[in-house]
Every structure is written in C-alpha cells, then in structure tokens.
A and B are shown apart, each in its own frame.
Chain A
Amino acid sequence: MKPLRLLVVEDNPDDEALVLLELRRNGFTLSAQRVQTAEAMRKVLAGGDFDIILSDFSMPHFTALEALQVLKETGRDIPFIVVSGSIGENEAVEAMRAGARDYFAKDRLVRLGAAVERELREAKARHERARANLERELLALTSEVLTERLDLDERLKRLVRIPVPRVADWCAIFLYERERGGLRMVALAHPDSVLESHVWELDQRFPVDPRAQAGPSRVMATGEPELVEDVRARARPVTTHPDHQRALAPLDFRSAVHVPLRGRSSVLGVLSLVTSGHRTLGPADQSLAQELARRAGLVLENARLFREVQDAVRLRDDFLTVAAHELRTPLTTLRLQLGSLLHQASRERLSPELESRLHRSMRQVRRLGTLVEVLLDVSRLSSEELRLSPERLDLAELVSEVVGRHAAEAEGMGCELRVKACSGLWGLWDRLRVDQAVAALVSNALKFGPGKPVDIEVARSGVMGRVRVRDRGIGIPPDQHERIFERFGRAVSSRSYGGLGLGLYLARRSAEAHGGRAWAETPEGGGACFTLELPLETEARE
C-alpha cells in the first residue's frame, strides 16, 4: 500500500478513471483531485499538498503548458507528467522543455506506475538536497545576524525574518520576563506587514497566558519542544479566551512548532514557527527551529551575563560613591579641627611636642582624604570617562605646590626633593586631576626610593609641558612598565609595599583625558623615572 496524493488536470472523467485504475493496479492508495482550469488548479494547490501531477496535454479551457506555468508560479517542486490521447514528438519535447518530467499516451499506460515511482524517488532526493541547502543557508544567515554589532532586540528582529517565508509563514521569539511572570513577544515576522502589525496588536490585547497548557507557555514551563502538525486538531488550545480565539481564527493557523531558547541553566524564552493554509511543519522543521534557537540562546545567555556584570559593577560603583561621600564629611570636620588647633598651637607657642603631634595627625588625615578620593575616582572611572574642569594653570607653580605638600613626608623618608622647574608653561588643565597625577608620581618615588634624592623636573617638550620624577630606588623591570599603569597594577608584592595600586592608573587616565600621556622608564644608574606630558596652551607653544 503506497499512499499517493494525486492532482489530475483533465477535462474527461473517464480518462481520469483510466489513470487511477492503472495506478491502483500498481499498488498505490490514491487521494485524487481533478481540475480543468487554471483558477481551479491554483486554488487546489494553495489548499493542499500533492505528490504528483498528471495532466492532459490539451483541454477545452486549459493546456499542460499553462498548467506547468501555474505550478511554476507556486515555486513548488511537484513532479508533473503529461498523459495525452494523442501526443506528437513536438508537443512532447515542448512539454519537457517547460518542466514536465515524462509523457505517456493514454492507450499505453503500462509504464506509468514505474514512472510515478521513479519520480517520487527523485523528487524526494531533490527535496532533501534542497532542504539541506536551505538549512545551511539559513543557519549561516543566523550566525551572521546574531554576531552583528547591533543591540539584542534588533538582532532578534532580524533573526525571525530568516525562516520566513521559506520554512514557515510566521516566526516569533518570546522572552521570559520575571516582572510579568511570563513570556512577552519581542520579535515577529510575516511576509505581509499588515498581518504582522495586526498580530502585534493582538499581542497587546491578549498577552501570552502563562497558564496556557499548550504553545509557548507550555514549552517555557516544560523546557520541551512542541510540534503541532495540525493546530485545528489540537486537543488543548493555546488560549482559552473566547475573544482571542475569535481574533486568531481568520489567521488560519495550520501547523506550529515551539522550541525552548536555552541559557546555561534555564529556559530564557521560546522560538515559534507557524504556518497558515495548507503548509504543514514536521520533525525536520522542529530540528531546524531547535538549531536556530540554540544559536539565539547562546547570544541571549551572553547578553544576560553582560547585563548581570553591568548591574554588579553599577551596584559596586553606587556603593563606593555613597561611601566616599559619607567619608568626606567627617574628614572635613577633622581637617578643620586639626587646622584650627594647629593655628592655636603655633600662635600661643604651647609646646613643640604638641605641635608636632598635631602636624602628624594632619598628615594622616590628608592621607586618608587622598585615599578616599582615589577610591571614588576609581569607582567612577570603571564605568565612565573622566570629566575635566579645565582652568588656566602654570605647570611649575602647580608642581611646586604638590612638592611643598610632600615636604614633611620626604623628610620622614630621608629623601631630598630636588626641583628644577621652567616657569611660564601654561595650559588649560583640571587642577585637581593634574595635582593628583603629580602627587601620585612624587609619593611613588618616595615610597620606592627611601633615603635617596628624588629629582623633579618641569620642562617644555615641543608642544607639551613635561613633569619628570626620577628616584633612585628599587626600579621597575622593563616588562612591568605598562602593567603598573593598569588598575590595581603593581610590580611588587602588596605585602612588601602598601598602596591601592591606583595612583599611576589615575595619573595616566588624567594625562590621556587632557590629550597627554604618562609612562615609565628605567634610567641609567638605576631607579625609576616617570614622565607626565600635558599639552600646553597654544600661545605658550610659540
């Protein structure tokens, strides 16, 4: 028993009976329809699938050549055999040229059964080849779309266009949203944009029911794909809402496959393919949908991880911002109190011992203040660009201010700070940032070169103003010259030398935000040399 869906293009019922008889004799179980006009043929083809078409050559209102044209318009590959009462050589050649696979005279049908079997075999092979090519092409397109530099929504919108209309009439992606406790349609494609908008509107009026026992919600709940070859025969409807059912009816859905979009540990959403009219979806379409979903799932998972990382970073930065803000108020009080006590101590000449203790306390409070500022900067800089408030500054003056602030520390470390500064180097710079950068270089030099002099040079270098800080300390291996400018980068163990590992990072970020640069070198004679270059204002360059 071989089932055969047959379309007979024939005006004479007797001739049709003859053909059917011959095929039944060859063991075919037939479901046949007969048409004899172009319109009827179009209508029948649109309403169903056929394995083969047998056509008379010439009829009162139709011909085999016209029937071939109708078939061609549908774009479908159905074997077409001409069966004619009187077919001459020329007509046969003409029909074959137009796409017919074979021809028979009505009085010599003995070989028809064998010819039909051969055509079915060849058509199946052709379909499989075409399908494999189609899948390769669609998956290549999918990879292309998913890796484009677009936001996720846009990529999903392009993705759903890929299988439409060649595999299905509709393709949609639903993503799970925790807030609504269910799926939301985020992308939809149909060849007809009017129908597409209509379904978007329906989605607004009737959001996906999370409790539905079939369709996307069911797939979301079970994580298992669902293939419904004929939705009209489905036991459980996708929606129980009568208005929704009424609104969906004119769309004439026929077949549907819903597959899960999987992340690493959970189902993130559902990809659906749906057909209307005669076209049905089968296991091959489910496999294709699963492959599309697998690729989209990877991209969704990456996007989810990226969002999580961003959220974590934002949370951390928010915390650090508030923390630093809270720390500034007591630091201000401390500084003012200590400052006013120091004034009083020196004015009233209380005791040198007391004054020195107050100075030490003040240095530590300042140091605490610097650490708070650095932490705040780093929390901000990880997520945004450095913002500058430029003002006109003299580089030598600014450097001398920073050096003055480090005088006591240098004395404590046994370092002589030797400054050689060229004045008149003006630029439009952010005072706070440049101060911070120079201070980082100076305090680094003191920390790593105790007991030895530190040379600080302020000079012009072409269109740039240059600050060079050279110590005679432990030095930096050349392969670490870049690393030490990274966030938390350090060339020495944090157990031997303290510090947050942020000063040089901030110095370089500041220099670069000004259009300058910062780098390290190993000078002859050992130690380390740090250079900060900042662009001079135009007049100062002359």
Chain B
Amino acid sequence: MSRPLLVVDDDADLREALEEVLRDAGYEVLGASNGKHALEVLGSVPVLPGLVLLDMMMPVLDGGGFARAMRQVPAWRDIPVLVFSASANARQVAEEIGACGHLRKPVDVDTLLDAVGRHKSS
C-alpha cells in the first residue's frame, strides 16, 4: 500500500488546490489546517504519510512547532518534511528544522510535482 501525502496549510483554498493537483497526479492526500491538527492526523491514520508538505506561518501551532513535536515521536521522526513557505528565506528555515527540501510560494504545478516525487519516501 502506497503511503499518502500530508498537506499542512492554514489557507483552505490553497490546501484544496494542492490536494487536487496531487490527487490528479495519483497521490493519496491528507490535509491539515495547522500544526496541531497535523499531529492529530498523524496519530489517527493507519498508514503514515511518505511526505509532509509544510507551511510555516500558521495559527495554533506553526510549522516549526509541528516539526519539533513530530521529531519527538520515534515512529514519526523519519517522515520527510518539505517546507512550503511564502518566506523569502524558506531555504534557511528548511535547514533549521531539518527538512529534506523547500518550495517557495508561489510555485508551478510541474515544480511542485517534481519536488514531491523526489522527496516522498515510498
């Protein structure tokens, strides 16, 4: 069974657009509106995601807080995280939280699919 993708972004329209594009490309996609919600999703799914597409600036629990909390749980520690941020220093942020890569908003479909394909663990 292929592992799903987890999209974490507080902007509902953007999250849905991402989910659609990724589903069209054949991925199974889970969504979460903030870091806390994402942790709940991780705790409830039967198959852990093969990649987390993570926005940084979110209410309740931001991307940094989510990444730190996720690394505390041994089973979740190795799930790759791809930072998906509007910040000009997305790359630096990605290095700080130990992400496998970064995408800077805005992004094209091809760039998105290419990055997801490279970083997702099967």
Which of A's residues lie within 8 Å of B, judged by CB? Answer: 325, 328-337, 339-340, 342-344, 369, 376, 380, 387, 389
Contact call A369/B106, Cβ cutoff below 8 A: yes
What are 14 inter-chain pairs, A to B, with CB distance below 8 A?
A328-B86, A332-B106, A333-B14, A336-B20, A336-B21, A336-B109, A339-B21, A339-B110, A340-B20, A342-B109, A344-B24, A380-B88, A387-B89, A389-B92
A344 to B18, CA, bound (A): 15
Q: Contacts A340-B24, A343-B24 given: A335-B106 contact, CB under 8 Å? A: yes
Q: Which residues of B contact A342 (CB under 8 A)?
A: 109
Contact call B17/A325, Cβ cutoff below 8 A: no
Within the complex, the shortest CB–CB distance from A177 to chain B, in Å, comes to: 36
Contact call A331/B20, Cβ cutoff below 8 A: no
Q: Which residue of B lies closest to A377 (CB)?
A: B88
Within the complex, the shortest CB–CB distance from A490 to chain B, in Å, comes to: 26
A344 to B107, CA, bound (A): 18
Contact call B17/A337, Cβ cutoff below 8 A: yes
B interface SS class: helix
Q: Which residues of B contact A330 (CB under 8 A)?
A: 13-14
Contact call A333/B91, Cβ cutoff below 8 A: no
Contact call B86/A329, Cβ cutoff below 8 A: yes
Partner of A336, one of B86, B87, B92, B107: B107
Contact call B109/A339, Cβ cutoff below 8 A: yes
Partner of A329, one of B91, B92, B105, B110: B105
Contact call A331/B106, Cβ cutoff below 8 A: yes
Besides the known contacts A325-B87, A339-B109, A340-B20, 10 further A-B residue pairs in the complex with CB atoms under 8 A apart: A328-B86, A329-B11, A332-B86, A333-B17, A334-B106, A335-B106, A335-B109, A336-B17, A336-B109, A340-B109
Contact call A332/B107, Cβ cutoff below 8 A: yes
Partner of B21, one of A334, A340, A389: A340
Which of B's residues lie within 8 Å of A, judged by CB? Answer: 11, 13-14, 17-18, 20-21, 24, 86-89, 91-92, 105-110, 112
Q: Which residue of B lies closest to A372 (CB)?
A: B106
Q: Which residue of B lies closest to A340 (CB)?
A: B21
A334 to B88, CA, bound (A): 19
A46 to B66, CA, bound (A): 75
Contact call B105/A332, Cβ cutoff below 8 A: yes
Q: Which residues of A contact B105 (CB under 8 A)?
A: 328-329, 331-332
Q: Which residues of B contact A331 (CB under 8 A)?
A: 105-106
Q: Which residue of B lies closest to A365 (CB)?
A: B106
Q: Which residue of B lies closest to A329 (CB)?
A: B11
Contact call B112/A336, Cβ cutoff below 8 A: yes
Within the complex, the shortest CB–CB distance from B108 to chain A, in Å, comes to: 6
Contact call B24/A333, Cβ cutoff below 8 A: no
Q: Which residues of B contact A344 (CB under 8 A)?
A: 24
Contact call A333/B13, Cβ cutoff below 8 A: yes
Q: Which residues of B contact A325 (CB under 8 A)?
A: 86-87
A329 to B92, CA, bound (A): 19
Contact call A333/B112, Cβ cutoff below 8 A: no
Q: Which residues of A contact B107 (CB under 8 A)?
A: 332, 335-336
Q: Which residues of A contact B106 (CB under 8 A)?
A: 328, 331-332, 334-335, 369
Contact call A335/B86, Cβ cutoff below 8 A: no
A196 to B91, CA, bound (A): 53
Contact call B91/A389, Cβ cutoff below 8 A: yes
Q: Which residue of A lies closest to B10 (CB)?
A: A329
Q: Which residues of B contact A334 (CB under 8 A)?
A: 106
Q: Which of B11, B14, B112 has the largest number of chain A CB atoms within 10 A?
A: B14
Q: Which residues of A contact B88 (CB under 8 A)?
A: 376, 380
Within the complex, the shortest CB–CB distance from B113 to chain A, in Å, comes to: 9
A330 to B11, CA, bound (A): 9
Q: Which residues of B contact A343 (CB under 8 A)?
A: 24, 109
Q: Which residues of B contact A328 (CB under 8 A)?
A: 86, 105-106
Give the 5 A-B CB pairs with smallest separation, nearest first.
Answer: A339-B109, A332-B106, A328-B86, A331-B106, A336-B17
Contact call A329/B14, Cβ cutoff below 8 A: yes
Q: Which of A331, A332, A343 has the largest number of chain B CB atoms within 10 A?
A: A332
Q: Which residues of A contact B91 (CB under 8 A)?
A: 389
A333 to B55, CA, bound (A): 13
Q: Which residues of A contact B110 (CB under 8 A)?
A: 339
Q: Which residues of A contact B21 (CB under 8 A)?
A: 336, 339-340
Contact call B24/A335, Cβ cutoff below 8 A: no
Q: Which residue of A lies closest to B110 (CB)?
A: A339
A342 to B17, CA, bound (A): 14
Partner of B18, one of A336, A369, A376, A380: A336
Q: Which residue of A lies closest to B15 (CB)?
A: A333
A335 to B20, CA, bound (A): 13
A331 to B109, CA, bound (A): 13
A331 to B21, CA, bound (A): 15
A65 to B106, CA, bound (A): 93
Q: Which residue of B lies closest to A337 (CB)?
A: B17
Within the complex, the shortest CB–CB distance from B55 to chain A, in Å, comes to: 9
Within the complex, the shortest CB–CB distance from A382 to chain B, in Å, comes to: 15
